Amino acid sequence: MAENLSFFQKVNENFDKAAKFTDYPKGLLEQIKICNSSCHFTFPIKRDDDTIETIHGWRAEHSHHNLPTKGGIRYSMLVNEDEIMALAALMTYKCAVVDVPFGGAKGGIQLNRNEYTESELERITRRYTYELIQKNYIGPGIDVPAPDFGTSEIEMAWIFDTYLTMSPDKLDAIACVTGKPIKHSGIHGRKEATGRGVVFGLEEVCSYIDDMNQIGFDPGIQGKTVVVQGFGNVGYHASKYLTLTEAKVIGIAEIDGAIYNPKGLDIDKLSMFRKETGSIRHYPDATLLENPNDIFELECDILIPAALENQITAEIAPRIKARIIGEAANGPTTAKAHEILQKRGVLIIPDTYLNAGGVTVSYFEWIRNLSHVGFGRLARRYEESTYNAMFRAVEKATGYQFSDVERQTVHGADETDLVNSGLQDTMVNAYQEIRETRMKYGKDIVDCRTAAFINAIHKIAQSYMQLGIFP
């Protein structure tokens, strides 16, 4: 595969590779692959010093086979039309892989958020939303944004507020965006969802004895050493939940340097340190690597890129020691690097599957917003009284008295429990489907990325056929 292809062309190459394992008509495959619509717009904003600046924004809706379309909004200097279309396409395939009934979309603004004040960012976000409304690129049944690189729940709250202001009579306006703060109808567990999904996915990957033995590992994630690139939303939460599984996060890279401690890093302490000092560089319990890319060469079992696309290149791939690469970021491995790693027997767990936790919980948030009732509200007390009745029956039959501590361990499922349960179930089922596809064609012939694409193509093709568009 050529290294000089654009990001969107690379996504399409992966699609073409997988499409060869299906026998759908050429026209249907072309319709699935093509980006259905995209728009680039510019608008002026007044900065705090009264200067006027032109801002460039994009939104792409890759596939309308399911509506609404869904995908994050990123703020980065690398944003351009090709990147946004590539990321929108990945969203389409990702949603299909995890059975989330959305088409794929993505949006972005070309800026470095560190160069703007909060009030400037608010003006930019609100104006961007206004442009989306004018162009019919946002709405609970049209296109629903979410956070991505460089954005978080605060931008989602501004987007919601702007949308609501422009459509005050819309009962379902709250479902126009996900990843909102809890107090603005967000859902418990969304902020953590992508990182947590990465961990649920890797636990499932590591649970297969045959697959683990093939790469020289014992099954189970416990005790495995992990290195993470990017300590933002996804990287932080993946690291945090990995340490709870007793995997050991030994290295973390950020844009201004990387740190390493073979005994394991204390993730919450590190996060606190970064908040206080603005960097991970001088964290006391670790060795500093001046070049963040040196992180890729560290001795470890699992490498998790959680920053941006095109980070693992053909130049870096031969030096990687990890036997598993968990793609938490979108498109972190170039096509050539993928080929090199594949030949070396490295197990690559693709973005189209592994970082789908975010959109999965966004789907739950969207359902919650449309139903206007929180998960667990109807059943929680009922479940608790059922459990208590069971306790009393066991006590009566056996004479054993449960302690208060034992009783407290059992409670009716609340929103967080239900969200995490739904997320885990989704990640486990989707990986099993990927594995089944690999077994069907032969694990040496179909890697996880191709298997995920094959599964996505089948599901999207079925949707088109149900719509009666294709025979």
Binding site for ligand NAD (CB under 6 A): 72, 147-150, 194, 229-235, 253-255, 292, 306-308, 328-330, 355, 358
Choice between 139 and 195, CB closer to ligand NAD: 195
Cβ at position 30, least distance to ligand NAD in Å: 26
Cβ-based nearer residue to ligand NAD, 189 or 292 = 292
Of the pair 29, 84, the CB lying nearest ligand NAD is at 84
**Residue 167 Cβ, how far from ligand NAD at the closest point, in Å?**
26
Q: How far is the CB of 391 from ligand NAD (least distance, A)?
A: 39
Minimum distance, C-beta of residue 110 to ligand NAD, in the bound complex (Å):
15
Q: Which of residues 272 and 373 has its CB atom nearest to ligand NAD in the complex?
A: 272
Strand partners, 43: 55
Cβ distance to ligand NAD smaller for residue 120 or 148: 148
Out of 10, 70, 94, 106, the active site residue is: 106
Nearer to ligand NAD by C-beta: 109 or 253? 253
> Cβ of residue 25: shortest distance to ligand NAD, in angstroms?
32
Per residue, what are the HEC states of the chain? CCCCCCHHHHHHHHHHHHHCCCCCCHHHHHHHHCCCEEEEEEEEEECCCCCEEEEEEEEEECCCCCCCEEEEEEEECCCCHHHHHHHHHHHHHHHHHCCCCCEEEEEEEECCHHHCCHHHHHHHHHHHHHHHHHCCCCECCCEEEEECCCCCHHHHHHHHHHHHHHCCCCCCHHHHCCCCCHHHCCCCCHHHHHHHHHHHHHHHHCCCHHHHHHCCCCCCCCCCEEEEECCCHHHHHHHHHHHHCCCEEEEEEECCEEEECCCCCCHHHHHHHHHHHCCCCCCCCCEEECCHHHHHHCCCCEEEECCCCCCECCCCHHHCCCCEEECCCCCCECHHHHHHHHHCCCEEECHHHHCCHHHHHHHHHHHHHHHCCCCCCCCHHHHHHHHHHHHHHHHHHHCCCCCHHHHHCCCCCCHHHHHHHHHHHHHHHHHHHHHHHHHHHCCCCCCHHHHHHHHHHHHHHHHHHHCCCCC
Residue 73: name the closest of 161, 5, 147 by CA: 147
Could you give the CA distance from residue 60 to residue 67 in angstroms, rounded to a whole number?
Answer: 14
Q: Respond yes or no: is residue 106 known to be catalytic.
A: yes
- Beta carbon of residue 113, minimum distance to ligand NAD (angstroms, whole number): 8
State the residue number with the nearest CB to ligand NAD: 232
Q: Which is nearer to ligand NAD, 255 or 428 (CB)?
A: 255
Whichever of 72 and 107 has its CB closer to ligand NAD, that residue is: 72
- Amino acid identity at 282: H
246 close to 225: Cβ distance less than 8 angstroms: no
Q: Which of 91, 120, 121 is nearest to 105 (CA)?
A: 91
CB of residue 184 vs ligand NAD: minimum separation in angstroms? 17
Q: How far is the CB of 229 from ligand NAD (least distance, A)?
A: 5
Active-site annotation, residues = 106
